[in-house]
Structure 1
Amino acid sequence: MDGYEAPPQIRERPSGGLVVDFHGDDDRRASFDVGGLLMPGWHQLLAESLALRIGPSGGPHTLEGTRNSWRVLGCWTRFLATLDPEPATPGDLKRAHVDAFSTRSDASESTRYSDMLELRTQFGDKRLHGRLPADAWDAFNRRLPTPKSTPVGGYSSGELDRLTAAARADTARIVRRIRAGEQLVRQFHDDPGQLTSERLELAEALAGIAATGEVPPRPGILERHERRELASHLFLTWNDLPPLMILLALVTERNGETIKELPAKHRILEDRAVELTVVKRRRGTKRWFETATWEIGPKERQLHTAGGLYLLLLELTDRSRGFSGSSAALSLWRNRPRGDRGRAEHFAPYEIKLSHCPGLGLSAWAAGRSQPVLADPPPAKRDAKTNTAKAEPAAPAKATSLTITFNQIKTSADARRTKQLGGHLPSSAKSNTAQVLFTNYLKPDEATREWAEEVLTEALADAEQAAWDAHATAVGRRGEPIVIPDAESPQQLEDAGLAPHTARELASGDLDTAWTACEDHEHHPETGAPCGDSFLACFHCGNCLVTRTHLPKLLGLLNGLGALRERMSEDAWWKRYGPAWVAVRRDILAKFTPAEVDKVRQQPLPDALLDLVEAPWELP
């Protein structure tokens, strides 16, 4: 707009001191009082660095992100104030000061690492170049050792099923409670004569609350409890949030931040799906908002479909949202002290900031139910030598309640979807890229790794069986290789059943091919014509002869095939080399004793000679 000038991000208080203002992409605002920090000589630089960091072209675009940037500046100034002598201005800063901050003992390794990264980012803006001494900036700019982190996986299938069932059961009770309260209000207006005196008194109280949004005071010392009980007939309360939000996270497969910021605005598509705009943070500026389309499903399945559960949430919060005036889907009634009651008790808990309710108590809800949500017992300890479970006393393991976080719920939901889609990451990626899905959600999850190992083991077993079937089919047409493990001399070979001239030629090596020997190269068992097959096909042919002298070559071939397997895709390797590999391992080597094979393995093995069956330029 012509003539428009954006307000300055840094302003000075009337009483003195600099303030940095923030306006986030989520329309949340904050002001950071740099003048209230220690080390006044640093305030101008810190105000500029913070403004550049949290401004329109900076990194954090959310209020929560800017709070971290502000926290680090507070830590930095408090640390500088403890030094003797303290670096009163940025020009007084030395490398030793930065080194001492990065190794301070009052913070964990991960906190020190993140603080150093934040300060390096703030002070490293090119518009602040030269404001710090070169040696001090070099200390910020050095490579930082990445702290070790323990990956957090998801829940096992049993834990996820128990958590889902508990959240669904408690949500169903919430729905029945509020619908019963609404029905009582309707009865009071339509036909109060049908109500008993006790029900009539409650209905009259609820009708007044429904009209005004105000829960009247109750006499006695249990007033807060009784007011909450009365309000819960029509509104959600704090105690309803854990199961409801857990079920939303499970059914929609979205993270906790997205669930907290679900909007009330939506569009119904042909009574089949609901369309709404959801928030997916940490995607970078201009990429926060995403249009989601969720199936509604039949009414009896409202607690099982994302669209059905979302519309149910709007139904449960409709009255409270009308009094709070919020555009958020989540709105509830909270019990306020006297003097601050009325419609102010209706509010959207996450409209101002996402951390408004740090004590949401997901794990406390799981432990406090009449039927707690239990974690799986710890796995049996295994003997490192035998890889078997150790015998333990028969004392029963103590059941523990499940620790619940939105991160673990999201990990479990992503792992479940990936399994259902057969492990295909591009199809499994929903609210993240395939790379983020694997790195942050699937890789740390032990249950997913176990599943993947099972799938891989089954796939390898299927591939090996297919290769064996191909070998058996070829042998059925061409005959089975002749393996003579205990004969080397012509007489021994003749005694084993070979013709005299074949025994002599085999013993002298005249019949040798790449890894075995061929009894009659001029007459193929199937065609009767000279053989033109690859040497790899010898292992499925009745003309193939194998003695103890061929063992080194066969073992060398297996080593070469093993090396190729690491450089090729599994599908291509099994198709190209699988039948020969299986024939050697399961059919030919099985005719020799393990001691014979092991003895040969201890000696240097010859080259695999794979260039005899593949053109060198075609080898992977």
Structure 2
Amino acid sequence: MRRLSDKESVLSPVMVRRLTYIAAGPVGSYAPRDAYPPNIVEQLRKAARVDLDHAVRRLTLDGPALLTQGQDPRTAGWDSDANVLWEIHRSEGRFTRQQLAQLVGGTLADKHSPGRLAQLLYPTSHDLFALLLLFCLEIGMELEAARELTSGCLKNPNRGYVQVEYLKRRRHAQEWNTIRVRDGSPNSPGGLLRLALRLTAPVREVTGSPALWQFRTKNGILSTGLSPGTGSHMAQSFVSVHGLTNEGQPLDLCLSRLRKTYKAAVYKVTGGRMSAFVQGHSPDVAAAHYADIPSLRDLHEQAVVDGLQDALSDAQAPTILTPQEEAHLVQHPMDSDELLGIAAEDLPPLLSGESDLWLSSCRSFFDSPFSTKGKPCPVSFFACLGCGNAVITRRKLPAILAFLNHIEAERARTPAAEWAARFGKAHRQILQLVIPSFSEGDVLSAKAIAESSEPLLFLPHNLLGGH
């Protein structure tokens, strides 16, 4: 076999580059782009709004007002901002400083610079960057799709909403899509696009291109779009002009993070509800690329805590057996496992009252969640209202309502903190869980019994019988 020389390789240069890229780390081990935190978003919004307000005033008031004062500089003279602006307008924005310098010299060309004056009639890339930034923060559209919006993107305006038609090239065979957004106000997605249409109209009239983001460069070129390179350059300029910082350092403004920033805000507002979060992509993509990011970790951890708390609350809640369910079990005792979680042979003591305690029946008085198996339940009688062993039937309503009267009377003579610690949970359980489970007639009858002059006494049979 022939030995390869040092200059020869069995791998092509392309393959070498690919292997070098992969060798830099495990595929997929990169840190995900995170959303910007709220304080950074507020900085971005404020700075972009300043730029946009300035652009609107310049292009809709100051520029047109100065243009009306202008005359043909060939007869009225070149030593006038208004006359030079008149010539810029006549040349459809293409008149440059170099052309003016050839006519009147460099000093006068600097004084009445077409690069400065043209900004009174035609938007700059800086103006459009502010608009695009606000739009992406408001709608969360993919950056490449937002850059390719056209002058006809707004469809079907209706009652404060409008559809935005956009091209998503990554979605093969379904590239054209629409999204319904708020419209009208200057801060709404629809309103921002209407501002873009108004400010870019003079450029579009000249170029004839349907592209939305059109502007004039300093050297008189009418550009028909914001390229990725232009966007990155303008992001750096935007940060520098406004002095935006993050933890004392200049802000690293990455436009690809804007979509995640919007998605993270939606995720927080909806509490992670995926049906509101998956707009524009599949649930798998939404979860992997937009929900699984560092800035949402606290929300996810809190969701786990809330879930555990809900599970604990369910475990501590008594079972309410309505009269209808009780009658059903009399006829169909084999359903006791589904309704009560007990075997059919353990059902009779619950239905007959044999296993009754003061405020409820008990699935197993000697298998309490508050004690070891085989020993009697050691907690106060009203702890039944927070016990998963308890089964509350209609016959316990009088005792429960009598107890409710007692604890409400105690509220008047007990310090608030002490009352809440002793009776607060039981009070909530009675009002929010027990009473709403029974009919108005059952509750009224039980209330009448509870208010009888004869005191109610409900104790376990095993205690009365001397067990």
C-alpha deviations, 1:311-347, integer Å up to 9, x for none?
Answer: 10011100011112211001110133xxxx5xxx212
Pick the aligned partner of 2:163 from 272, 275, 283.
Answer: 275
What is the CA–CA distance in structure 1 between the aligned matches of 2:43 and 2:215, rounded to whole Å?
27
What is the CA–CA distance in structure 2 between the aligned matches of 1:528 and 1:453, rounded to whole Å?
37
Is the 8 Å Cα contact of residues 313 and 330 (structure 1) preserved in structure 2?
A: yes
Residue in 2 aligned with 1:461? 309
What is the CA–CA distance in structure 2 between the aligned matches of 1:244 and 1:537, rounded to whole Å?
70
Structure 2, unaligned runs of 5 or more? 322-348, 377-385, 391-467
Is the 8 Å Cα contact of residues 279 and 289 (structure 1) preserved in structure 2?
A: yes
Is the 8 Å Cα contact of residues 224 and 335 (structure 1) preserved in structure 2?
A: no
C-alpha deviations, 1:192-227, integer Å up to 9, x for none?
Answer: 9xxxx99x9433433443343133534427759933
Is the 8 Å Cα contact of residues 35 and 258 (structure 2) preserved in structure 1?
A: yes
What is the CA–CA distance in structure 1 between the aligned matches of 2:90 and 2:164, rounded to whole Å?
29
What is the CA–CA distance in structure 2 between the aligned matches of 1:243 and 1:281, rounded to whole Å?
24
Equivalent position SS for 2:230: coil
Residue in 2 aligned with 1:374? 245
Residue in 2 aligned with 1:179? 60
Residue in 2 aligned with 1:247? 134
Residue 449, structure 1, aligned to residue 449, structure 2: no
Is the 8 Å Cα contact of residues 261 and 329 (structure 1) preserved in structure 2?
A: yes
C-alpha deviations, 1:578-608, integer Å up to 9, x for none?
Answer: 95499xxxxxxxxxxxxxxxxxxxxxxxxxx
Equivalent position SS for 1:293: strand
What is the CA–CA distance in structure 2 between the aligned matches of 1:412 and 1:579, rounded to whole Å?
44
What is the CA–CA distance in structure 1 between the aligned matches of 2:218 and 2:359, rounded to whole Å?
95
What is the CA–CA distance in structure 2 between the aligned matches of 1:270 and 1:425, rounded to whole Å?
26
Residue 203, structure 1, aligned to residue 45, structure 2: no
Please list, as runs of the form range in 1=range in 2, the aligned pairs for 1:350-361 lying within 5 A after superposition: 350=226, 354-355=227-228, 357=230, 359-361=232-234
What is the CA–CA distance in structure 2 between the aligned matches of 1:357 and 1:247, rounded to whole Å?
17
Residue 235, structure 1, aligned to residue 122, structure 2: yes
C-alpha deviations, 1:435-469, integer Å up to 9, x for none?
Answer: 211111221x211121222243245435535654x
Is the 8 Å Cα contact of residues 242 and 360 (structure 1) preserved in structure 2?
A: no
Cα 1:147/1:410, change in 2 over 3 Å: closer
Is the 8 Å Cα contact of residues 366 and 373 (structure 2) preserved in structure 1?
A: no
Cα 1:293/1:201, change in 2 over 3 Å: farther
Cα 1:539/1:279, change in 2 over 3 Å: same
CA deviation after TM superposition for structure 1 residue 246, in Å: 1.2
Aligned residues with identical type, % of pairs: 19
Letter in 1 for 2:147: K
What is the CA–CA distance in structure 2 between the aligned matches of 1:273 and 1:329, rounded to whole Å?
20
Structure 1, unaligned runs of 5 or more? 1-80, 87-95, 114-144, 378-398, 475-517, 552-577, 583-620
CA deviation after TM superposition for structure 1 residue 251, in Å: 1.6
Equivalent position SS for 2:146: helix
Residue in 1 aligned with 2:46? 165
What is the CA–CA distance in structure 1 between the aligned matches of 2:294 and 2:47, rounded to whole Å?
23
Is the 8 Å Cα contact of residues 236 and 317 (structure 1) preserved in structure 2?
A: yes
CA deviation after TM superposition for structure 1 residue 307, in Å: 0.3
Equivalent position SS for 1:449: helix
Pick the aligned partner of 2:238 from 362, 365, 384.
Answer: 365
What is the CA–CA distance in structure 1 between the aligned matches of 2:113 and 2:67, rounded to whole Å?
22
Cα 1:104/1:321, change in 2 over 3 Å: closer
* Greater helix fraction, Structure 1 or Structure 2: 2
CA deviation after TM superposition for structure 1 residue 184, in Å: 0.7
Residue 215, structure 1, aligned to residue 84, structure 2: no
Is the 8 Å Cα contact of residues 539 and 580 (structure 1) preserved in structure 2?
A: no
CA deviation after TM superposition for structure 1 residue 348, in Å: 0.7
Is the 8 Å Cα contact of residues 140 and 259 (structure 2) preserved in structure 1?
A: yes
Residue in 1 aligned with 2:268? 419
CA deviation after TM superposition for structure 1 residue 153, in Å: 0.9
Question: How many residues in Structure 1 have an aligned counterpart in Structure 2?
Answer: 338
What is the CA–CA distance in structure 1 between the aligned matches of 2:374 and 2:159, rounded to whole Å?
77
What is the CA–CA distance in structure 2 between the aligned matches of 1:183 and 1:292, rounded to whole Å?
35
Residue in 1 aligned with 2:436? none
Residue in 1 aligned with 2:399? none
Equivalent position SS for 1:539: coil
CA deviation after TM superposition for structure 1 residue 228, in Å: 2.0
Residue in 2 aligned with 1:259? 146
Please list, as runs of the form range in 1=range in 2, the aligned pairs for 1:132-143 lying within 5 A after superposition: none
Residue in 2 aligned with 1:512? none
Please list, as runs of the form range in 1=range in 2, the aligned pairs for 1:553-572 lying within 5 A after superposition: none
- TM-score, scaled relative to structure 1: 0.47
Residue 108, structure 1, aligned to residue 21, structure 2: yes
Letter in 2 for 1:307: G
CA deviation after TM superposition for structure 1 residue 536, in Å: 9.2
Equivalent position SS for 2:165: strand
Is the 8 Å Cα contact of residues 84 and 112 (structure 2) preserved in structure 1?
A: no
CA deviation after TM superposition for structure 1 residue 270, in Å: 4.6
Pick the aligned partner of 2:256 from 379, 397, 407.
Answer: 407
Residue in 2 aligned with 1:539? 368
Cα 1:224/1:309, change in 2 over 3 Å: farther
What is the CA–CA distance in structure 1 between the aligned matches of 2:149 and 2:364, rounded to whole Å?
65
CA deviation after TM superposition for structure 1 residue 187, in Å: 4.5
Cα 1:456/1:528, change in 2 over 3 Å: closer
Cα 1:294/1:405, change in 2 over 3 Å: same
Letter in 2 for 1:269: P
Cα 1:455/1:225, change in 2 over 3 Å: farther
Cα 1:201/1:153, change in 2 over 3 Å: same
What is the CA–CA distance in structure 1 between the aligned matches of 2:359 and 2:120, rounded to whole Å?
90
Equivalent position SS for 1:307: helix
Is the 8 Å Cα contact of residues 471 and 579 (structure 1) preserved in structure 2?
A: yes
Cα 1:401/1:238, change in 2 over 3 Å: same
C-alpha deviations, 1:257-309, integer Å up to 9, x for none?
Answer: 0121010014452574443420112112x211112333222xxx31x100000
